[in-house]
């Protein structure tokens, strides 16, 4: 499911089947490091969309959680914990994040964060880019399936 | 002298200018009309929407996944969307091209990935199962068989069209 009127209508009908939320975490900067973050964000978007396409019946891809890269960490953590709790209350049994920001992996719940590799997308061949996205999506898919069968 | 030869009367002058200007105006009105009238002929033939996907000799009796791209127009946004198909030959040697989109909620099914149910199409989301020919296994969430692609074989290449519910393709 995507965050579109059509998909949300389906979601409302089939709530019982959709128990997994996927939230992209997008760090933003306009000055230094902007290009690297944009490239990371682009890859996050591509991978998330591809996974959503393959698992759309169970995964709800939410709009991204956006923040400035130099925002206060503890405030950010609190805000994200808030999102997670709300999603849980709404019946999302699994909440996962996909991001290009390495710092999220330092937290306690690192296993719920999926990190895409840092690559300079702008200097990458189109076919190689596709290969990379497909590979990443396949890995993320396996990660989801593992988590679902675990419980 | 030359004055007399090239004399243009007032009447002639008005005639020329009026026909000239009138002609431009008429042309200005008629051209778009003609363009509209002929538009259906001039439009590019909508290439029957078949996409080359694979070489026929790559197709075996074991379902194999082929990825391809189709042009999609979504409101004002035109894009290429990835699609896949599970293609194999049945016992009679006929090509079967199944859409991997689960009929339950639209996940992508995979061939032979569930250890408990070998040689079935398996949907990882809610454990839907389909037999090799795409028929849904009763007792699992899907309620209809997998869609089949319209296909065409030309010069040893497999072309796929639209996925249609079984019975229509």
pLDDT tens track for A99-128: 998 888 887 777 788 898 888 888 888 888
Residues of A in Cβ contact (< 8 Å) with B125: 17, 55, 57-59
pLDDT tens for each residue of B27-80: 999 999 988 888 777 665 544 578 888 888 888 889 998 888 888 776 677 778
Structure tokens of B66? Answer: 């082929």
Q: What pLDDT is stored for residue B44 in this prediction?
A: 57
Q: Are residues B97 and B133 in the same domain?
A: yes
Task: State mean pLDDT over A62-77.
Answer: 91
- Of A97, A98, A100, the C-alpha closest to A81 is A97
Q: What pLDDT is stored for residue A37 in this prediction?
A: 92
Q: Are residues B28 and B76 in the same domain?
A: no
Q: Which of A104-113, B85-94, B149-158 has the lowest mean pLDDT?
A: A104-113
CB contact (8 A) between residue A141 and residue B105:
no
Q: Is residue B169 part of a domain?
A: no
Task: State mean pLDDT over A59-80.
Answer: 91
Looking at the structure of chain B, the number of domains it has is 2
Q: Are residues B36 and B60 in the same domain?
A: no
CB contact (8 A) between residue B107 and residue A17:
no
CB contact (8 A) between residue B106 and residue A50:
no
Pick the residue of B111, B121, B124 with the most A CBs within 10 A to test the interface with A by mutation.
Answer: B124
**What is the C-alpha separation between A47 and B104, in angstroms, rounded?**
23
- Of A30, A67, A31, A25, the C-alpha closest to A48 is A25
pLDDT tens for each residue of B7-32: 888 999 999 999 999 999 999 999 99
pLDDT tens for each residue of B92-150: 888 889 999 998 888 889 888 887 888 899 988 888 899 988 888 888 888 889 999 88
- The residue written with tokens 């890269």 in the block is A69
Q: Is B129 exposed, middle or buried (0-12, 13-18, 19+ CB in 10 A)?
A: buried
Q: Is residue B73 part of a domain?
A: yes
Look at residue A90 and tell me whether its pLDDT is greater than 50.
yes
Q: Is residue B36 part of a domain?
A: yes
User: What's the half-sphere exposure (Cβ side, CA atoms, 13 Å) at B130?
Assistant: 28
Q: Is residue B135 part of a domain?
A: yes
Could you tell me the CATH number of the domain that includes residue B71? 2.102.10.10
Look at residue B84 and tell me whether its pLDDT is greater than 70.
yes
Annotated binding residue at B102? yes
Look at residue A26 and tell me whether its pLDDT is greater than 90.
yes
Enter the ipTM: 0.76
In which band, very low, low, confident or very high, does the pLDDT at A3 lie, cut at 50, 70 and 90? very high
Q: Are residues B62 and B10 in the same domain?
A: no
Contact assessment for residue B49 and residue B162, using Cβ atoms and an 8 Å cutoff: yes
- The residue written with tokens 């209809």 in the block is B144
3-class DSSP assignment, residue A12: helix
- Which residue of B lies nearest to A142 if distances are taken between CA atoms? B124
Q: Are residues B38 and B77 in the same domain?
A: no
Q: What pLDDT is stored for residue B48 in this prediction?
A: 55
- Of B71, B100, B96, B101, the C-alpha closest to B153 is B96
Q: Is residue B34 part of a domain?
A: yes
Q: Are residues B142 and B121 in the same domain?
A: yes
Domains of chain A: 5-144 (3.40.50)
Which residue range is the domain that position B100 belongs to?
51-164
Does the CA dihedral A104-A105-A111-A115 come out positive or negative?
Answer: positive
φ, ψ of residue A57 in degrees (nearest 5): -80, -10
Q: What pLDDT is stored for residue B69 in this prediction?
A: 84
- Of A127, A50, A7, A133, the C-alpha closest to B81 is A50
Q: Are residues B158 and B87 in the same domain?
A: yes
Q: Are residues B68 and B132 in the same domain?
A: yes
Q: Are residues B72 and B94 in the same domain?
A: yes
Q: What pLDDT is stored for residue B168 in this prediction?
A: 56
In which band, very low, low, confident or very high, does the pLDDT at B169 lie, cut at 50, 70 and 90? very low
Q: What pLDDT is stored for residue B3 in this prediction?
A: 54
Residues of A near B (CB-CB distance < 8 A)?
A: 10, 14, 17-18, 50, 53-59, 141, 144-145, 148
Q: What pLDDT is stored for residue A107 in this prediction?
A: 72
Q: Are residues B109 and B141 in the same domain?
A: yes
In which band, very low, low, confident or very high, does the pLDDT at B90 lie, cut at 50, 70 and 90? confident
Residue among A50, A53, A55 minimizing CB distance to B125: A55
Q: Are residues B106 and B138 in the same domain?
A: yes
Residues 6+ apart with CB under 8 A from B18: none
In which band, very low, low, confident or very high, does the pLDDT at A8 lie, cut at 50, 70 and 90? very high
Q: Are residues B74 and B153 in the same domain?
A: yes
Residue B86, number of CB atoms within 10 A of its CB:
22
Q: How far apart are the first and last CA of chain B?
A: 85
């Amino acid at each position: 499911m995507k965050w579109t009127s059509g998909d949300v209508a389906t979601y409302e009908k089939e709530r019982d089947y959709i128990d997994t939320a996927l939230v992209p975490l997008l760090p933003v900067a306009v000055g230094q490091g902007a290009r690297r973050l944009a490239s990371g964000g682009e890859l996050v978007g591509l991978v998330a969309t591809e996974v959503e396409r393959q698992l759309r019946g169970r995964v709800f891809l939410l709009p991204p959680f956006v923040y400035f890269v130099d925002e206060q960490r503890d405030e950010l953590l609190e805000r994200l914990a808030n999102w997670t709790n709300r999603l849980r209350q709404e019946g999302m049994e699994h909440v996962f994040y996909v991001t290009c920001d390495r710092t999220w992996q330092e937290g306690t719940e690192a296993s719920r964060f999926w990190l895409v590799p840092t690559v300079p997308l702008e200097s990458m061949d189109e076919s190689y880019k596709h290969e990379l996205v497909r590979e990443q999506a396949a890995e993320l898919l396996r990660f989801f399936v593992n988590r679902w069968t675990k419980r | 002298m030359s004055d007399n030869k090239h004399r243009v009367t007032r009447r002639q002058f008005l005639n020329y200018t009026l026909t000239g200007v009138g002609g431009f105006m008429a042309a200005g009105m008629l051209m778009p009309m003609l363009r509209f009238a002929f538009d259906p002929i001039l439009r590019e033939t909508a290439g029957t929407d078949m996409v080359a996907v694979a070489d026929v000799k790559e197709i075996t009796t074991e379902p194999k996944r082929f990825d391809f791209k189709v042009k999609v127009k979504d409101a004002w946004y035109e894009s290429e969307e990835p699609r896949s198909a599970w293609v194999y030959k049945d016992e009679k040697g006929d090509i079967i091209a199944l859409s991997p989109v689960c009929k339950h909620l639209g996940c992508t099914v995979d061939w032979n990935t569930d250890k408990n149910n070998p040689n079935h199409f398996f949907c990882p989301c809610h454990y839907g199962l389909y037999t090799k020919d795409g028929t849904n296994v009763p007792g699992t969430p899907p309620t209809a068989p997998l869609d089949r692609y319209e296909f065409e074989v030309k010069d040893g290449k497999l072309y796929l069209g639209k996925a249609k519910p079984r019975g229509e393709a």
